[in-house]
Amino acid sequence: MRLSGPDDVSVRSCPGGPDLVRGATLVVDDDGVQHEVTRPVVAICRCDRSSRMPWCDSTHKAVRPR
Amino acid sequence: MLLPRERGPLSRRVLQTLRTGPGSSRSTTAFTELALGPDSVVTDEDAQLALWTLYELHYRGFDDAAEDLEWDPTVLRLRRTLERRFERELREAVALRLRSLPGEAPVGETLLALPATSTGPSPAAYLHRHASREVVVDFLRERSLQQLKESDPQAFVLPRLTGRSKVALAELLYDEFGGGRPERLHQRLFAEAMVSVGLDPTYGTYVDEVGALSLASANAMSMFGLHRRLRGAAMGHLAVFEATSSVPSRKIAGGMDRLGLPPAAAAYFHEHVEADSVHEHLAAHDICGAMVAEEPGLREDVLVGAAVCLHLDELSALELTERWNPTAPTAQEVAS
């Protein structure tokens, strides 16, 4: 996974949840597919179970009940 | 939008005052208090409609009520009587739930753990697997009361925050309000979902048809948003609202696809699967966490607001699922 943007890209991991990414305009996944960022902040999946990769879809709540 | 139809003595009094202006009724009722009965106002459609009508003066207003009534002392006094009781009942209703929470954990983590304490039926699960088209339409009609002004109540809070929490709320609101693209405004996506199933998306069209709990849910957000004193509750409510949206939204979208509804119907919910997976963390950690770090005294109200969101969602779920499927076990039966 590669994050790119015109300015600084910041990443913060949420406990038991996704990475919150600010400042990225493009997310390139491990297969080289580019995903355009359309929100001021995006959540990147960390559990690999999202059905909308690379974006978090909250599936982790079902996999790892809090 | 026109003033709604009355549903009892409280809404009658409020509507009369708004229709004629407080001056014209000064001789009889203008300065007497609203008489609230002993029963709960949370589930009383008359009280909730009265409050909703008073709050709407601060949003879009009514074509048949003078605009300057928004800040009229007599009108505010009616609102205050209803609000005092509403707030007291809500605080009492969530006190027990809050006592069982660990006092030490960071507020963000506590907020995101709260939805697991929720009980009762799930309208989203019913919409996913069983609902008919008519039920889905009924659901959209009920939700239209708050979704056509989605995030507007929380926008009232922005000038009351500073620093990190203000920046995070602005990020969240910018996304809710379309991220610079009017066609992505969530209120508009909801209106398009309504149109796709034959509903009228005009603001306020269905107020005469919705239940007490749809009104109460919208009113709680307005009360929290309009009082600076309740800013903690407003943001705690937002955190749980967002944290209980993504998974249900996916189920609802699935139910709409099952019924073969037009893509615009599910599009609103698909958007919320992704958006609210971001927003719940923004709200819990970046907004509420920062607010409480700066002002530790807000922690209690943040959790009150969060628990109120769950409480009203549970009551609303009962109202809806009992209407849709009268043979389903009630929440009391499920719990016992």
pLDDT in tens for each of the 336 residues of chain B? 999 999 999 999 999 999 998 765 554 555 567 889 889 999 999 999 999 999 999 999 999 999 999 999 999 999 999 999 999 999 999 999 999 888 789 999 999 999 998 988 999 999 999 999 999 999 999 999 999 999 999 999 999 999 999 999 999 999 999 999 999 999 999 999 999 999 999 999 999 999 999 999 999 999 999 999 999 999 999 999 999 999 999 999 999 999 999 999 999 999 999 999 999 999 999 999 999 999 999 999 999 999 999 999 999 999 999 999 877 655 445 544
Judge if B82 and B132 occupy the same domain.
no
Judge if B116 and B207 occupy the same domain.
yes
HSE, CB side, 13 Å, CA atoms: give it for residue B244: 28
pLDDT over threshold 70, residue A65: no
Predicted local distance difference test score (pLDDT) of residue B148: 98
**Sorting pLDDT into bands at 50, 70 and 90, what band is A2?**
confident
Predicted local distance difference test score (pLDDT) of residue B327: 78
The amino acid that residue B187 corresponds to is Q
Predicted local distance difference test score (pLDDT) of residue B325: 87
Compute the distance between CA of residue A52 and CA of residue A58 in angstroms, rounded to an integer: 10
DSSP, residue by residue, B120-181: S--HHHHHHHT--HHHHHHHHHHHHHHHTTTTHHHHTTGGG--HHHHHHHHHHHHHHTTTT-
Q: Is the dihedral of CA B283, B288, B289, B290 positive or negative?
A: positive
Please indicate, yes or no, if residue A65 is contained in any of the structural domains.
Answer: no
Judge if B176 and B201 occupy the same domain.
yes
* Nearest C-alpha in A relative to B177: A39
Q: What is the three-class DSSP state of A3?
A: strand
Compute the distance between CA of residue A24 and CA of residue B84 in angstroms, rounded to an integer: 45
A18 touches chain B (CB under 8 A): yes
Is B312 exposed, middle or buried, given 0-12, 13-18 or 19+ CB atoms closer than 10 A?
A: buried
Residue reference for tokens 């209407």: B323
Please indicate, yes or no, if residue B3 is contained in any of the structural domains.
Answer: no
**Sorting pLDDT into bands at 50, 70 and 90, what band is A42?**
very high
B273 touches chain A (CB under 8 A): yes
Last residue of a domain, one of B93, B123, B147: B93
Average pLDDT over residues A23-52: 92
Interface test mutation site (partner B, options A11, A13, A14, max chain B beta carbons within 10 A): A14
Last residue of a domain, one of B61, B93, B125: B93
Judge if B182 and B57 occupy the same domain.
no
Compute the distance between CA of residue B85 and CA of residue B303 in angstroms, rounded to an integer: 19
pLDDT over threshold 50, residue A11: yes
Domains of chain A: total? 1
Please indicate, yes or no, if residue B279 is contained in any of the structural domains.
Answer: yes
Task: Give the minimum alpha-carbon distance from B282 to chain A in angstroms, rounded to a whole number.
Answer: 8
Predicted local distance difference test score (pLDDT) of residue B27: 43
Q: A13: part of which helix (H) or strand (E)?
A: strand A10-13
Whether residues B285 and A14 touch (CB distance < 8 A) is answered with: yes
Please indicate, yes or no, if residue B98 is contained in any of the structural domains.
Answer: no
Task: Please list, in sequence order, all residues whose beta carbon lies within 8 angstroms of the beta carbon of residue B67, skipping any fewer than 6 positions away.
Answer: B61
Please indicate, yes or no, if residue B192 is contained in any of the structural domains.
Answer: yes
Nearest CB partner across the interface for A66, out of B113, B172, B174: B113
Please indicate, yes or no, if residue B24 is contained in any of the structural domains.
Answer: yes
Average pLDDT over residues A16-39: 92
Cβ contact B82:B46 at 8 Å:
no
B281 touches chain A (CB under 8 A): yes
Judge if B148 and B247 occupy the same domain.
yes
Please indicate, yes or no, if residue B4 is contained in any of the structural domains.
Answer: no
Please indicate, yes or no, if residue A41 is contained in any of the structural domains.
Answer: yes
For residue B137, the enclosing domain spans: 105-335
Please indicate, yes or no, if residue A66 is contained in any of the structural domains.
Answer: no
**Tokens read off for B251:** 């189920």
For residue A41, the enclosing domain spans: 2-58
Strand order in the sheet with A10-13: A10-13, A19-22, A41-44
Please indicate, yes or no, if residue B320 is contained in any of the structural domains.
Answer: yes
Judge if B85 and B208 occupy the same domain.
no
Last residue of a domain, one of B42, B64, B93: B93
Q: Which among B218, B61, B70, B34 has a CA at the least distance from the CA of B143?
A: B218
Predicted local distance difference test score (pLDDT) of residue B328: 65
Q: What is the three-class DSSP state of A20?
A: strand
Q: What is the three-class DSSP state of A35?
A: strand
CB pairs under 8 A between A and B: 56
Average pLDDT over residues A18-30: 93
Judge if B141 and B281 occupy the same domain.
yes
Domains of chain B: total? 2
Q: Considering only CB atoms, which chain B residues are within 8 Å of A41?
A: 171-172, 175, 278, 282
Judge if B110 and B84 occupy the same domain.
no
Q: Considering only CB atoms, which chain A residues are within 8 Å of B275?
A: 39
